[in-house]
Structure 1
């Protein structure tokens, strides 16, 4: 199975990279749009531990504070990692990521869009990466791991949904 990676400043390059079976893509599937590349990159990290302040464009890192002893991702670290694989640079802060891209309505979400939650009227406090059918991949909290969650049906996430952004 392969994925065509989007290069920096291009719609997509022709470099093919093998991907794991965690993507749920049929054998031989190729993803050429940046959001799809980001989604596959995030899905390949399912099971990685949450680490407060963890994650970079190269992968999981030791976090800071309460994440200092764990190698993994926090929510914005996962999304910046995933989008870096599509050639898009994001900051490592949920509030900043909320302002990095074009706002997308709930009805127009597509794979790879960033979905934001919480924070009342201030910056959102959580970010995930949309996969389709009301599902996101995210790094939820200390003691948990990167996983998929149905947020549109969730009694926790749905009421605190803040909006979505399409990076790049």
Structure 2
């Protein structure tokens, strides 16, 4: 009988863990009101577009996302709308061209147009109608 020890490294950070999701949400909220600019550089924090915002926030927590919302919609695993958890990425339009971070209670944090980084509800109205899919990353 062979004996041996299985050696495993430290667990990877997952946006689905409560503490990581809470930290992602807290980081995102620090940028409320930051202006929107389409094509904003991922190295800037004085302006964001939707995907540079998500890329930046997740990177602060060791989760590396591709640059565009369309690319981000292909990472991680699919999450049904009924099973969203804080820290999940939520995507809008068809084809996908907007991304947000689910923060719980039917709310997302994201950036677009005049309000810049803002919190919106996806329970009804415009964002509910444009909802397409969600992904859990980590």
Q: Distance in 2 between matches of 1:114 and 1:35?
A: 11
Per-residue deviation at 1:152?
A: 1.6
Aligned to 1:151: 122
* CA contact 2:13–2:62 (8 Å) conserved in 1: no
CA contact (8 A) 1:55 1:78 kept: no
In structure 2, distance between residues paired with 1:35 and 1:97: 17
Other-structure match for 1:137: 109
**CA RMSD, 1 decimal:** 2.1
Pairs aligned (count) = 127
* 47, 50, 59: which one aligns with 2:33: 47
The residue aligned with 2:76 is: 101
List alignment gaps of at least 5 residues for structure 1. 1-7, 13-30, 61-70
* Alpha-carbon distance, 1:85 to partner: 1.4
**Alignment partner, residue 59 of structure 2:** 84
Q: Does the alignment pair 1:118 with 2:100?
A: no
**1:156 match: secondary structure:** helix
Which 4+ residue blocks in structure 1 deviate beyond 4 angstroms?
none
Q: 1:103 to 1:158 in 2, by over 3 A?
A: same
Structure 1 residues 147, 33: CA separation in 2 closer, same or farther (over 3 Å shift)?
Answer: same
- Rg larger for: 2
CA distance in 1, matches of 2:41, 2:78: 24
Once the 2 structures are TM-superposed, how far is the Cα of residue 92 of structure 1 from its aligned partner? 1.4
- What SS does the corresponding residue of 1:146 show, helix, strand or coil? strand
Displacement, 1:11?
3.7
TM-score by length of 2: 0.82
Between the two structures, name the one with larger relative contact order (CA 8 Å, sep ≥ 6).
2
Q: Is the 8 A contact 2:13 2:63 kept in 1?
A: no
Structure 2 gaps, min length 5: 1-9
What's the offset of the Cα at 1:102? 0.9
